[in-house]
Structure 1
Amino acid sequence: MSRRALLRGSAAATAALALPTVLTLPSGGVRAAAPERLVVAGGAITEMVYRLGAENSLVGVDTTSMYPNDTFKLPKIGYFRQLSAEGILSLNPSLLLVTDQAGPPAALERLRAIKLPLTVIPETLHVADVPEKMRLVGAAVDRKAEGERHAQIIKGEIDALDAAVAKLSAKPRVLFLMSITDGRLLAGGDITAAESMIRFAGGRNAVVGSTGYKPISAEAAFAANPDYILLSDQSLEALGGIEALRKLPQLSGLKAVRENRVVTLDMLYLLALGPRVAHAGRDLAAALHPGAALPRFS
C-alpha cells in the first residue's frame, strides 16, 4: 500500500473512547492459546496481526484488509459490515477476530449461538488509543509480550510527531473529502478518523459544526475556505484524477484547488488508525507543513 502524500504545487472530538478488555464469546476473557486458524474482519486488526508475526495462522480476512500485500492471497469473507456466517464457517476458524463495527448483528449472533470463539476489538477515533489496540490484538492472538513491545514503539512514534507538530505555529485548514460521487461531496466533520489525523498532523478541520461524514454543498465548501483539500488515492482515482477534480464546479472556485494544494494518501493508511498511524501522520504533516522538521520512522 502507498505511503505517499501527493502534494500538487507547494508542498471535542468525542470524549476519549475507553478501550475495554478484549471480549471473547461465549466464555469471556482473553484466549489462553494462540489460534490455529484465525479469521479477521478489520483492516487495522489484520495489519496488527502481521506486525505481531502471527500471520501464519490467518486463513481469511475481510475486504478492508489490504495491507500488507500478502493479504490478497487469503480468502475474503466480504466487507466487515456485511459478513456472512456461512462464509466464515466455511474456513473452519478457531477464532474470529473482529472490530466492534463488524456486522450485521444477525450474522454475529448466529456465530455466537454455535459457540465459535469470537473476539471483539473496540475501534477508536483517537490516535493516542492505537497502542492500546495493539495490546488487545496481541493478547487475543497469544502474543502479549510482542503486543506490548509494538505498542511502545507506536507510542514512541506518536509522541515524537506530537512534539514536532507542537512547535509549528501554522495550523492550516484542511477539507477532507471521503468521496465525490456524481458531483456530490461527502466531507469529514468532527468525531471522525479524518479529523483526528488532521489534528495529529498539525492542521485544523475546515468543517465545523458537523459530526461524522456528511454531504457538503459547494457553498459550504467555499465558506470553509480550506488551505488544503485532502482525499484518498482511491477517491481521486475513482473521480478520474487531479484534472477531473480541478474541473468540478463545486471545487474549482476554492483557492486550495486553484493553487494545487491537494493532498492524497491511501485510504487504509490514512484512516484505519493502525500500526502505521504515525507514519501516515508524518506524511500528512510533511504535506501540510512543507520544509518543517519532522521525525523519520523506519
Structure 2
Amino acid sequence: MTALRRFLPPLFVLLALGHNAFAAAIDVVDDMGDTVHLDAPARRIVSLAPHLTELIYAAGAGERLVAAVEYSDYPPKAKALPRIGSYTNADLEAVVAQHPDLVVSWRSGNPPTQIERLRALGIPVYVNEPRDLDAVAHTLRQIGRLAGTGAVADAAADAFEARQAALRTRYASQAPVGVFYQIWDQPLMTINGQHLISAVIRLCGGRNVFADLDLLAPKIGVESVLVADPEVIVASGMGEARPEWLDAWRRWPQLTAVKRDNLFFIPPELIQRHTPRILDGATRLCEQLDTARRRRPAQ
C-alpha cells in the first residue's frame, strides 16, 4: 500500500500533464477551409485588418493583441497598439518581430502572397472572409476558441444574434425599398448582392438595385444609377461627416431618391466593418428605409 501511495502522485502528475497538453491543442477551420492548429491558446496575436482588431477585442482577447494595421481605432485602446503597416501592405518584418503565435487576416483585403509568406515562416494564420451577418457571430466564436476566451466570445456572439433576430422580426417583412449603396464618388462604386452590406439591406427589407453585378465592389456609371432609379441612395464616405458628393445627385431631379429627398448617410465604420457595430449601422439603415416608405405618395 505504501509503495502504491508512492507511485500514485507521479502517475497523477503525468496523467494531468498529458490531459492538459491534449486539451490545450486547438484546431479551427478558417473561412477558406484551412485548418489552423495551435498547441495552446494564442497569447500574442497580430491583426491584419481594422475589423479584425475590433472583433478580437469583442471576443475578449484584446489584451493578447500585440500589433495591428493602420485604422485599427476601435475600441479606443486599440489606437495604442504598435502599427505594422496597412491591411493592403503589411510590413512582414514588423509582424515577425512581434513573435506572434497567431496572425488573423482578411482574405479580401490582405494580399494572398503575404498570407502565404507568413505561413511559410511557420506562423499560424486564420483567414477571415465574412459575407453575411451570421459570419460576424461565427468569427467571434472562432477567435474565442483560438485565444481561449470562449466564454466572453460566445456571450458576444449570442448578443449579436439576438439583436439581429430582433431587427429581422421588425423590418424584414416590410414593403421592399430599392437601394443604391454608394461606397465612393470618383470612381463611382457600389456593392453587389454578395457583399455584407447587401445582407444589411435585406435585413431591413431593402433591395440592392445592383445585387446582380459580378464584382463584390464594382465600379459603375451614372447612367446605370439613372436606369436603376433607386428609391433610396445611401452613402458612406470616409468618416463621421456626410460626404458632399451625396447631394450631388440632386443634379438629376428625375431620380426617385432625389424627388423624395431619400439621400441618406451612415458612417462607414458602422456599416462597412464586419463587427458587432454593424448592427448599429443596420438600425440606422432600417430607420432610413422606414422613412422612405412613409414618403411614398398616397395610393
TM-score normalized by the length of structure 2: 0.77
Matching residue within 182, 199, 203 for 1:196: 199
Cα offsets for 1:160-211 (capped at 9, x unmatched) = 111111342x211110111111xx4112222112212111122111224313
Q: Does 1:262 align with 2:254?
A: no
Aligned residues: 264
SS at match of 1:204: strand
Q: Matched residues in 2 for 1:291 and 1:121: separation?
A: 38
Contact 1:23/1:30 (<8 A) preserved? no
What does 1:225-236 align with in structure 2 at a 5 Å threshold?
225-234=229-238
Contact 1:180/1:235 (<8 A) preserved? no
What does 1:21-40 align with in structure 2 at a 5 Å threshold?
21-23=28-30, 28-40=35-47
Q: Matched residues in 2 for 1:23 and 1:247: separation?
A: 42
Contact 2:204/2:286 (<8 A) preserved? yes
Letter in 2 for 1:156: A
Cα deviation for residue 87 of structure 1 reads 2.2
Letter in 2 for 1:219: E
Contact 1:134/1:148 (<8 A) preserved? yes
Match of 2:243 in 1: 241
Match of 2:8 in 1: none
Match of 1:205 in 2: 208
Match of 2:130 in 1: 124
Letter in 1 for 2:181: F
Structure 1, unaligned runs of 5 or more? 1-19, 293-298
Q: Does 1:166 align with 2:186?
A: no
Cα deviation for residue 278 of structure 1 reads 2.5
Contact 2:41/2:145 (<8 A) preserved? no
- Aligned in 2, Cα 1:265/1:172: closer, same or farther, shift over 3 Å? same
Match of 2:61 in 1: 54
Match of 2:181 in 1: 176
What does 1:1-298 align with in structure 2 at a 5 Å threshold?
21-23=28-30, 28-116=35-123, 118-168=124-174, 170-181=175-186, 184-211=187-214, 212-234=216-238, 241-242=243-244, 244-247=245-248, 253-290=254-291
Q: Matched residues in 2 for 1:119 and 1:277: separation?
A: 25
Cα deviation for residue 139 of structure 1 reads 0.8
After superposition, the CA RMSD in angstroms is 2.9
SS at match of 1:186: coil
Q: Matched residues in 2 for 1:208 and 1:45: separation?
A: 26
Letter in 2 for 1:162: R
Q: Matched residues in 2 for 1:224 and 1:152: separation?
A: 38
Match of 1:295 in 2: none
Structure 2, unaligned runs of 5 or more? 1-26, 294-299
- Aligned in 2, Cα 1:110/1:213: closer, same or farther, shift over 3 Å? closer
Q: Matched residues in 1 for 2:64 and 2:237: separation?
A: 31
Cα deviation for residue 97 of structure 1 reads 1.7
Matched-pair identity in %? 23
Cα offsets for 1:109-150 (capped at 9, x unmatched) = 33222212x231431211123221111111111112222222
Q: Greater helix percent: which structure? A: 2
TM-score normalized by the length of structure 1: 0.78
Q: Matched residues in 2 for 1:251 and 1:85: separation?
A: 47
